Structure 1
Amino acid sequence: MRRFQRVGLGVVLTFLTGPVYADEQGVFVAGTQPSERPANAPVVENYDKGGAWYARALSGVSKPYPYSLRFLEDQGGWFNPFIKPGMTGPYDIRGWH
């Protein structure tokens, strides 16, 4: 029982002192003002998708490529789950596993 009290005290102290410590350090916390883009946020000005990127994104898809994959032309440097391996087994229709 005493162990649970110590763990509980540690958790409470972490939650109470965490925000104060972060504020003192000047740590940037995303999402505190979602309607405004932070002034010091990085900006991607150019995202070069070379042939290797397209080969990886279109691997497992036979030509002619479906029109639904035209979104790849507008794809930037953000995360895209459609160009990463997903489920295994019978659901791996592109043969990535």
Structure 2
Amino acid sequence: MSLDVKTVAKMARLARIGLSEEELQAHQKEMQGIIGWVDHLNEVDITDVPPMVGTGLAQPRLRDDKVTDGNCPEAVLSNAPEREGPFYTVPKVVE
């Protein structure tokens, strides 16, 4: 696939990027190189390669839902600037 300067100018206009004629030439060469690399990937033989994880093959890794760090209210409340019993004390925000 070849990419001409006119197409690069159209893409720049759609992206609202103002490019000079020299910049259009430079971007055209750079994009042509990127397209060349993508075309190069099409040459790789992948007939016997199974697909990687996709939507149909993916299984979420689930762990047991258990408390691993808890049951220490005094340690948690030790950070409170003010407390009343086993609760944080906060300023009243609703009248």
TM-score of the superposed pair, with normalisation by structure 2: 0.26
The structure where strand makes up a greater share of residues is 2
TM-score w.r.t. structure 1 length? 0.26
- In our comparison, the structure showing a higher alpha carbon Rg is 2
Q: Which has the higher helix share?
A: 1
Q: Which has the higher relative contact order, 1 or 2, with Cα contacts under 8 A spaced 6 or more apart?
A: 1
